[in-house]
Structure 1
Amino acid sequence: MNRRTALRRLLYIAGGTLLLPACYRQSGKATIEMTHLVIDEEQENLLAELVETIIPSSDTPGGKELLLHLFVLKMVDDCHSPEDQEAFTAGLSTFSTYSRELMGQDFIKLEVDKRIAFLESLKEIENEEVKRFYGITRRRTIQGFTNSKYVMTDLKKYELVPGRYNGYFKMT
């Protein structure tokens, strides 16, 4: 073995040991870093399933594929008042327990039609935490979808201000 191959292998091993911890996600933590919200991995997965139920994937990408749950978390963390942030986290934990009480299962384990029926039943409940949480989540999900790269580049066809010229337009 010569010196160059030994140094090369040593550098590969050193680089691998530096990069390997970055490849593994610590279980229990949220995907993105937030300053005001404290969300664990289970709550993030619940929010991802809720966003996917609000905007399901079909021939267009759904909420989970567009990572709208991360958009919702970041918007609530950065742009909402501390009262809204507290109501959001309280509503997130209450949402899962309310789903267990009403439907008998966690929201994540429900089938799609039962999820939709559960979300439609949220309009008549008296629990303000769940209503406020669902309202914030729904509004930010729709905002994230309409501002996503997919919608802005593939669905909307933008024309400059004067528009195109149509010489055959009838004047009546």
Structure 2
Amino acid sequence: MSSQPMPSESEQAPTITRREAIRRVSLLLGGAALIGCGRVEDVEKAAEKAASVPANTRLGQFSSQEIAFLDEVAETIVPATRTPGAKDAKVGAFMALMVTDCYDPGEQKTFRDGMRRVDAAATKAANVPFMQATPQQRLAVLTAFDRQAHREAYETEAEDRKRQGLAQLPPYDSIEAEEITSDAPVEPATFFRMMKELALLGYFTSEIGCTQALRYTEVPGRYDPCIDYVAGSPAWAAHA
């Protein structure tokens, strides 16, 4: 055996490719992240184009103002903390490109109607449009939609299980710890699942998401059986 010292982790680990990051994040989200788009290649193209889009640029059917709106929606979902947030990663442009290039007309309409509903909900709850609302007001509006989308997904699953003769799920209200606030939307919130999944996919496959929000080490690589955990350290990027 060679007596040469083992290369360090930083010397041995290559940079993760965007294609591999997209594949792993889609697996992390159960495959549901690719709504309207089944090919990793299409997601890869949208992500690369979004990263190089100049400010105040129109993308497909989305104006620069609408892209800024999506940036703020994504930033509310993935805000800047000790690491940059979704807006720094240009997630709004990624969302716009994905909807334009990969969604069918019905999905595009659902998504764009959802943007208007977010704005209307902010106006109703905070008396200002979403873009003029405070971060706390924006979070309250999106949280209401998120809870409703979760309820709809749960109830759809319950109905599917009932039709298939499987064990029944308990009523949603019996497991929900927090009740939806009185000013929550009352119409279906299917669009919000699209928004949330695109925001997460766009962020965690961006350079910022992969290199600053997460840590990545190529496998196989050097074997370190015991690594001390330091409180507050970023999570490791998922491995397939």
- TM-score normalised to the size of structure 2? 0.50
3-state SS of 1:116 partner:
helix
Q: In the superposition, relative to structure 1, how do residues 161 and 119 fare at CA in structure 2: closer, same or farther (>3 Å)?
A: same
User: Could you tell me which residue of structure 1 aligns to residue 65 of structure 2?
Assistant: 42
* Residue among 133, 138, 144 paired with 1:121: 144
Structure of higher RCO (CA pairs closer than 8 Å, 6+ residues apart): 2
Trace 1:93-104 onto structure 2 (pairs within 5 A).
93-104=116-127
- What is aligned with 2:198? 140
Find the partner of 2:97 among 74, 83, 104: 74
Q: Is the 8 A contact 2:121 2:141 kept in 1?
A: no
Q: Residue in 1 aligned with 2:57?
A: 31
2:192 is equivalent to residue 157 of structure 1: no
Change (3 A) 1:153 1:98: closer
- Residues 32, 70 of structure 1: 8 Å contact kept: no
> Which ranges of structure 1 fall in alignment gaps of 5 or more residues?
1-24, 167-172
Say which structure is richer in helix: 1
Q: Root-mean-square deviation (CA), in Å?
A: 2.3
Q: Gapped runs of 5+ residues in structure 2?
A: 1-54, 149-184, 226-240
Residue of 133, 145, 150 corresponding to 1:110:
133
Determine the C-alpha separation between the residues in 1 that align with 2:122 and 2:106. 23
How many residues are treated as equivalent by the alignment?
134
Deviations 1:119-166, CA, capped at 9 Å, x for gaps? 1222343223xx233221111110111111123234322133254265
Contact 2:58-2:64 within 8 A present in 1 as well: no
Match of 1:92 in 2: 115
Structure-1 separation of matches of 2:104 and 2:86: 24
The amino acid across from 1:157 in the alignment is Y
